[in-house]
A and B are shown apart, each in its own frame.
Chain A
């Protein structure tokens, strides 16, 4: 009953979307405030209706209603309550419903805000947001309906896939979906601004917070997905250049380019057309990625079943992209640049270069991902490119971007001074040079040493931005260092939050370089009480034993290994990798145990055993610096929170006298 009510609520939500679009557009056309407000109120109603739909499906999941196909697919009598709740996004239909919940929640919040400053945009924002939300609700009611019932209900369900029972997998999809869906608001603002024909930066300023939120959610989703893959898939890695990873990464790269490029439009009134395109690319790439992954068009480890979603998604995407481009062309006269780019050697110049690199990285990853589809269309043969392609193509571009992060803040607007840049680069350059020699002597590998030093340069340069600011306050206001730091950050949280994000990115880059260049893995088959050595660790196999499983529908076998230092024989501790067997799903889950240090993770998995454990096989991965990735992720989120908090929307465009900017680094 409650489940059926959920379905009915979803049907009504689609009708409400249609009503909101019609009244908003009619209201804008007739300049009728009452109709516009009616559309706005209707848009607010979509969220509670989709919430009722979700409650309906949750109710079915919680009460073991296996008559509902979706419930039988993702849960069973043995599935604990927590996982029955999170099973809402465990498969196609439910995950689109959850997507709709998040999307409608963002629309709800956007509709609640104060629209007095930008009243003319409201009807178009409402119409665009409801058009997109309505499309996804339509998908949920047609091709991916989680409320469908069996003719003859089974006695028990299949149970949630064991691989999905991990905190990272519980949080990763909501994060990624929140990232994806929150871009509906800035995109709606863009379309509204083009539709109205506004010449100012209002859409950009009003949607900045939304863009930053979407960006941070996408980043968190990608990092949590990596962490889940690392912990659960038993492969020691975190990133495999799979289409399901590449597509959100491409959207994230476009969004990052937009966030930087938007700064130039705000400060100098430039890159207006470029920003329109970047927001359109970000949003369309989300659509494209979702349609490709969900429709099974691309061969991915994370593919959903082949479904008929592809043409629907692609058709709607073409409509969105075509509509945006047409609208943009018709408004080219409103998007004239207020200033000209004078020199490559300036803040704007570096931002342009960095933008080109962000976009080229995104496009190369995108082309690599859809390469099989392109080649199939040309000559009927699917040609795939593997991880080495991405490492060779995207790797160099990403490392240049890391370097630019360090250089860009030093350059003045319009035209920078080489002398000033040289002076400010002296300390980081000397530190980097010394570090390069030390790392090279220690590792003997030139390329990773060089890459790590580029990261170090950017790190030092970014830290110096804080140090210079603090020193200036200490000298001018006589504040103590902690107080000066606090006031410095408080005065410009957006800027210093941004720098903190840069530090987070540097840490992630260091982790990726460490794992990619210095990582090793070894497979060993050992007899009971025999030892084997990997790197500076010696492992002695002490046998296997059945242990209680974390879940009530599995059996677990754990191996015990004593770890000692291969240098001095000192005991490091025990390692207990285990394998969980799930009879109902006929699946096994290999769970690694991790030892080592912060800088050198030792990841051990139990690959198999024979004769009740008289011999067993282990795979050991040495992952240097991998923990820097997770630490970098936390720093990145802290930086986001810092930048987000102060971003009070303001339509006032700051103007700085040009004469003061020339040749001096901006403060």
Chain B
């Protein structure tokens, strides 16, 4: 292949890498779990400046939704096992979201919330459309004992 084609392809690749670099710098969030956030907060680590992508399991009876103001709050814990054990002792985080309550927000649902941890200890979901996501349909698998 002639050098002019190699140079041309090189220019395209460098441009794409440069755009990617800028886009990553401006649009990335750190994936964390409830236990990580609670532990780091106890250690005095300031997480409030970073955009976080929090994954956790919804505590059904903590859900508070006001349709008039579209204000939604609920607790998340680290895993489903935490809901079965002793919920009082389990580390949990309060999530605050402004918007329509998703249909799939139910007890034990797996929530993925993108937002920031506030000084009041609550986790505020961002304004973007995907700032509160709940894992959908095909996730449900039976955990009961099976035999064949």
A, B in one complex = yes
Contact at A145–B148, with CB atoms within 8 Å? yes
Q: Is A301 an interface residue (CB 8 A)?
A: yes
Binding-face segment, B41-49, B88-96, B99-107: B99-107
Q: Which of A344, A352, A386, A589 contacts B103 (CB 8 A)?
A: A589
Q: Mark A377-392, 1 if CB is under 8 A from B, else 0.
A: 0000111111111001
- By secondary structure, the B interface counts as mixed
Taking A341-B1, A384-B30 as known contacts, 20 extra A-B pairs with beta carbons closer than 8 A to each other, sorted by chain A number, are: A69-B142, A90-B137, A150-B144, A234-B103, A237-B129, A299-B31, A302-B136, A303-B135, A304-B139, A341-B2, A352-B9, A364-B16, A384-B53, A386-B130, A388-B23, A388-B26, A389-B26, A525-B67, A607-B101, A610-B68
Contact at A525–B68, with CB atoms within 8 Å? yes
Contact at B106–A587, with CB atoms within 8 Å? yes
A residues 136-192 touching B (CB-CB < 8 Å): 145, 147-151, 158, 161-164
A residues 406-442 touching B (CB-CB < 8 Å): none
For B12, B13, B99, B136, which residue has the most chain A Cβ atoms within 10 angstroms? B136
Q: Which residue of B lies closest to A361 (CB)?
A: B16
Q: Which residue of A lies closest to B100 (CB)?
A: A607
Q: Which residue of B lies closest to A376 (CB)?
A: B31
Residues in B with CB closer than 8 Å to A163 are 103-104, 136-137
- For residue B88, give the distance in angstroms from its CB to the closest CB of chain A: 24
Residues in A with CB closer than 8 Å to B148 are 7, 145, 147-149
Q: Mark B1-38, 1 if CB is under 8 A from A, else 0.
A: 11011001100110010011011101111110000000
Q: Which residue of A lies closest to B147 (CB)?
A: A151
23 A-B contact pairs sorted by A residue (CB < 8 Å): A69-B142, A73-B140, A90-B137, A91-B138, A148-B148, A151-B145, A158-B140, A161-B137, A162-B103, A299-B53, A301-B135, A301-B136, A302-B138, A305-B141, A344-B4, A352-B5, A353-B8, A360-B13, A383-B30, A385-B29, A386-B27, A608-B65, A616-B67
Q: Which residue of A lies closest to B140 (CB)?
A: A73
Contact at A341–B103, with CB atoms within 8 Å? no
Q: Is B57 an interface residue (CB 8 A)?
A: no
- For residue B131, give the distance in angstroms from its CB to the closest CB of chain A: 9
- A145 to B19 alpha-carbon distance, docked (Å): 44
Contact at A69–B67, with CB atoms within 8 Å? no
Residues in A with CB closer than 8 Å to B20 are 364, 367-368, 393
- For residue A307, give the distance in angstroms from its CB to the closest CB of chain B: 8
CB within 8 Å for A384 and B19 given contacts A299-B112, A605-B100: no
Residues in A with CB closer than 8 Å to B137 are 90, 161, 163-164, 302
CB within 8 Å for A385 and B23 given contacts A150-B144, A352-B5: yes
Contact at A92–B70, with CB atoms within 8 Å? no
- A587 to B108 alpha-carbon distance, docked (Å): 12
- For residue A335, give the distance in angstroms from its CB to the closest CB of chain B: 14
Residues of B within 8 A of A (CB): 1-2, 4-5, 8-9, 12-13, 16, 19-20, 22-24, 26-31, 53, 55, 65, 67-70, 99-101, 103-104, 106-107, 112, 114, 128-130, 133-142, 144-148
- For residue B2, give the distance in angstroms from its CB to the closest CB of chain A: 7
CB within 8 Å for A385 and B133 given contacts A305-B139, A523-B100, A619-B100: no
Contact at B28–A389, with CB atoms within 8 Å? yes
- For residue B148, give the distance in angstroms from its CB to the closest CB of chain A: 5
Residues in A with CB closer than 8 Å to B28 are 371, 383-386, 389
- For residue B138, give the distance in angstroms from its CB to the closest CB of chain A: 5
Q: How large is the interface on A (under 10, 10 to 19, 20 to 34, 35 or more residues)?
A: 35 or more
- A158 to B142 alpha-carbon distance, docked (Å): 10
Q: Which 4 A-B pairs have the closest CB atoms?
A: A608-B67, A382-B31, A305-B141, A607-B100
Contact at A353–B12, with CB atoms within 8 Å? yes
Q: Which of B9, B22, B23, B133 contacts A356 (CB 8 A)?
A: B9
- A73 to B70 alpha-carbon distance, docked (Å): 33
Contact at A590–B139, with CB atoms within 8 Å? no
Contact at A382–B138, with CB atoms within 8 Å? no
- A588 to B129 alpha-carbon distance, docked (Å): 19
Q: Which of A91, A150, A161, A586 contacts B146 (CB 8 A)?
A: A150
Q: Which residue of B lies closest to A237 (CB)?
A: B129
Residues in A with CB closer than 8 Å to B69 are 525
Q: Mark A347-380, 1 if CB is under 8 A from B, else 0.
A: 0010011001100100010011001100000000
- A90 to B142 alpha-carbon distance, docked (Å): 13
Residues in A with CB closer than 8 Å to B101 are 607-608
- For residue A355, give the distance in angstroms from its CB to the closest CB of chain B: 10
Q: Which of B27, B138, B142, B145 contacts A72 (CB 8 A)?
A: B142
Contact at B129–A235, with CB atoms within 8 Å? yes
Contact at B134–A301, with CB atoms within 8 Å? yes
Q: Which residue of B lies closest to A340 (CB)?
A: B2
- A92 to B138 alpha-carbon distance, docked (Å): 7
Q: Which of A353, A393, A587 contacts B19 (CB 8 A)?
A: A393
CB within 8 Å for A91 and B103 given contacts A149-B147, A303-B135: no
Contact at B23–A393, with CB atoms within 8 Å? yes
- A615 to B114 alpha-carbon distance, docked (Å): 30
- For residue A527, give the distance in angstroms from its CB to the closest CB of chain B: 10
Q: Is A617 an interface residue (CB 8 A)?
A: yes
- A340 to B4 alpha-carbon distance, docked (Å): 13
Q: Is A240 an interface residue (CB 8 A)?
A: yes
CB within 8 Å for A387 and B130 given contacts A149-B146, A353-B8: yes
- A341 to B1 alpha-carbon distance, docked (Å): 7
Contact at A387–B147, with CB atoms within 8 Å? no
